[in-house]
A and B are shown apart, each in its own frame.
Chain A
Amino acid sequence: MGQNEIISLQNIAVSFDGEPVLKDFNLQIGEGEFVTLLGPSGCGKTTTLRIIGGFVKPDQGDVFFNGKKITAVPPYKREVNTIFQKYALFPHLNVFENVAFGMRVHRKKEAEIQATVRRMLEMVNLTGFARRNVNQLSGGQQQRVAIARALANGPKVLLLDEPLGALDLKLRKDMQVELKKIQKQTGITFVFVTHDQEEALSMSDTVVVMDKGRIQQIGSPQDIYNEPKNAFVADFIGESNILDGVMAGDYLAEFAGKRFRCLDKGFAPMEPVDIVIRPEDIEAVPPQQAELSGTVVSVTFKGVHYEIIVDVHGFKWMIQSTRYQAVGQEIGLEIGPDDIHVMKKSEYSGMFGDYSSFSDEMEGLLNSPEGKGQ
């Protein structure tokens, strides 16, 4: 990983029609890094990308590229290229001319264009497609043309705006591997936007979790998953049981009416905290062997494991286990000290909790007038 800072966003603020989209936003991206901007729709991740690309001018703050201020530089003069959400290929040009577009605009020599396009098409496995009409290609193929077109310009930074969103699951997985491979091969800095947490975790060197126009956490995929900074990050990345708790002292957390040994310290005595316990860390055991026990209320087969919802005094826990549990059965939940993750209280505390309800989005649908009748 190069340590040179290639892009720096400083104190950026943007609003559209008076609606703030980014607030006091600071982000540094190192050369050769694979950075993912991850967040729900409307969190400002695409806007961040468009600021780097030059399509959105920030109301406040500055953009630096290799230490040079580029805030006012128009898109066509920036050394970054973008892969757009819906590919945005030129429908009036064939595959070859799409890939060659950037080089033709820059008046490169014909021989160089021929060679580069051939090399790019080879890299994205589209050799032999040069003369095809882009409208006759499948989604996956169009995606590859878009990648080749952006890379043919030899950018220092490649911006990818949910490029895999329109592909089906299997193809998406393949493209994830392929993109990662291309990134390693070329050494180009990738700034990748997605709302798919799995995609973010599996591809990135650094994940930037965003919500409401602010960065919630920056870190490696492992950090983000294992050490979420607040309830939002814990809830957005993977599944989590989030409980209200207090720190009874160093290495001692109190939640669900019991005290548990944990690995966290340095909190004020009896400080209220959020406790995160990942479903896969909880062991289903006979009730008498565990501190907590409850009744199984639902079991869903997920292929790799069963997703089991357990009611413990009204709080619905999710556990993931490869062993089947029958609905109505009484089971114990075994939680080890390193399964407990303690977070400071934040604005998101109390917004996410147990598994007694659907996701917020689903809840919204059910509560809408159209949803009620069903």
Chain B
Amino acid sequence: MKAKRAAVPYGIWMVIFIIVPMLLVLYFAFTTQEGAFTLQNIATVGRYSNVFVRSIWLGAVATAVSLLIGYPVAYIIARTRACWQSVLILLVILPMWMNFLLRTYAWMTLLEDSGLINNLLEALGLGRVHMINTQGAVVVGMVYNYVPYMIFPLYSVLAKMDPSVIEAAQDLGASQARVFWRVVLPMSMPGVISGITMVFVPAVSTFIISKMLGGGANLMIGDLIDMQFLGSSYNPNLGSAISLVLMVLILICMGIMNQFDDGESKGGGIPL
């Protein structure tokens, strides 16, 4: 009973700040500015399908890169001595203590045509490379900002893994590579899934990063929604509709991911 009562404050919080806003989004998405029911907003979303495709594509690339970078990092941290683990984890967290905008500004100055990297390249005689305002720059920004969210769930799964299970695999004749592909990776799938979720969702809906590092040409859904509420093309009804469609798309993506996870944990055995 006590436990139930303790949940009341959060229950109230949830209703006011989660349930009600969701219903508002739903309401705005299906009404005109005068408040009449309409499907026009949803239909209009279709016009921006290229933005959706770009967002999901860039989000997916950023997630994949984060996984490729984050997995080895998490693996190495989980395998170091306990006293060093907390230091390494701190190093991963450290950039997150800086303001998000500041971090992204820093990348602007790094990637600019006359930025630090280009100056360095020229000094080395390699010539300048145009990096800012490209999709690559957006991906770099997203990876930099979100990779800790990939590392943490992977680290916690890998650190908890029983070392004797790995020894058992070696004992049964598996080389290091086989141990990884057949035991470590499948056993860390829950961490992979939650890492992907935690990077993909914010990456798809990001708006500052794409605006600052991607220039005008690489508009993402987040920017589109931003424009509907704060920009010149003020239209909260359309903004709500876009948000709603984005939410549904993310839900579908996550559903597919979780399906994959279930399949793994049941262990794809060949039935007798």
Chain A residues within 8 Å of B, Cβ to Cβ: 53-55, 74-77, 80-82, 84-86, 88-94, 96-97, 101-102, 104-106, 110, 114, 118, 130-131, 133, 149-150, 153
Question: 12 A-B contacts, Cβ less than 8 Å apart?
Answer: A53-B171, A75-B170, A81-B171, A82-B167, A84-B167, A85-B164, A88-B165, A92-B187, A93-B267, A94-B267, A94-B269, A104-B182
Q: Are B162 and A88 in contact (CB under 8 A)?
A: yes
Instruction: Tell whether, in the assembled complex, residue B168 and residue A84 are in contact, meaning their CB atoms are under 8 Å apart.
Output: yes
Task: Using A76-B174, A97-B269, A118-B272 as known contacts, say yes or no to A105 and B168 having CB atoms under 8 A apart.
Answer: no
The CA-CA distance from A101 to B168 in the complex, in Å, is 10
Binding site for A on B (CB under 8 A): 162, 164-165, 167-175, 178, 182-183, 186-187, 189, 264-272
Shortest B182–chain A CB gap in Å is 7
For the complex, what is the distance from the CA of A55 to the CA of B163, rounded to whole Å?
11
Q: What 6 pairs across the A-B complex have the smallest Cβ distances?
A: A102-B172, A88-B164, A88-B168, A94-B269, A97-B269, A75-B170
Partner of B264, one of A77, A92, A105: A92
DSSP majority for the A interface? Answer: mixed
Complex CA distance for A301 and B168, rounded to whole angstroms: 44
Name the distance in Å between B271's Cβ and chain A's nearest Cβ.
Answer: 6
Contact A153 B267 (CB under 8 A): no
Q: How far is the CA of A130 from the CA of B173 in the complex (A)?
A: 22
Residues of B within 8 A of A102 (CB): 172-173
**Residue of A at shortest CB range from B272?**
A130
Tell which of B170, B189, B268 has the most Cβ of chain A within 10 Å.
Answer: B170
Which residues of chain A have C-beta atoms less than 8 A from B165's C-beta? 88-91
- Would B267 and A75 count as touching, CB distance under 8 A? no
Q: Which one of A105, A118, A149 has the highest number of Cβ atoms from chain B below 10 Å of its Cβ?
A: A105
Shortest distance between the CB of A123 and any CB in chain B (Å): 16
Say whether B267 contacts A92, CB under 8 Å. yes
Q: Contact: A114 with B187, CB < 8 Å?
A: no
* Residues of chain B lying within 8 A (CB to CB) of residue A149: 168, 172
Report the minimum CB–CB distance from B158 to chain A (whole Å). 14
With a cutoff of 8 Å between Cβ atoms, the chain B residues found around residue A150 in the complex are 171-172
CA distance A110 to B271 in the complex (A): 12
